[in-house]
Amino acid sequence: MSFVRIYLVGYVLLLLGALLALWQADVLARLPRAWIAISLAIAIGFGILLAVASSPRAVTHTHD
């Protein structure tokens, strides 16, 4: 598994844990579904950006 995949799996687990906590605290019942979907899309996009930005860079050597 690549670094980015491991990072994304951990991030998705973190999001699921947060969602379960909000659901258990009955916070999600008071929010419209559209805002929940929008928030999830933003959170997943932010996780992808973080994973790509923190992934190790490939080192390429050029021989002249």
> pTM of the full predicted structure?
0.69
Radius of gyration, CA atoms only, the chain:
17
The string of pLDDT tens digits covering residues 1-39 is 577 788 888 888 999 999 999 999 999 899 999 999 999
Give 59's pLDDT tier (boundaries 50, 70, 90). low
- Residue 6 has a pLDDT of 84
- Residue 64 has a pLDDT of 59
- CA–CA dist 59, 21 (Å, integer): 41
- CA–CA dist 28, 35 (Å, integer): 10
Give 41's pLDDT tier (boundaries 50, 70, 90). very high
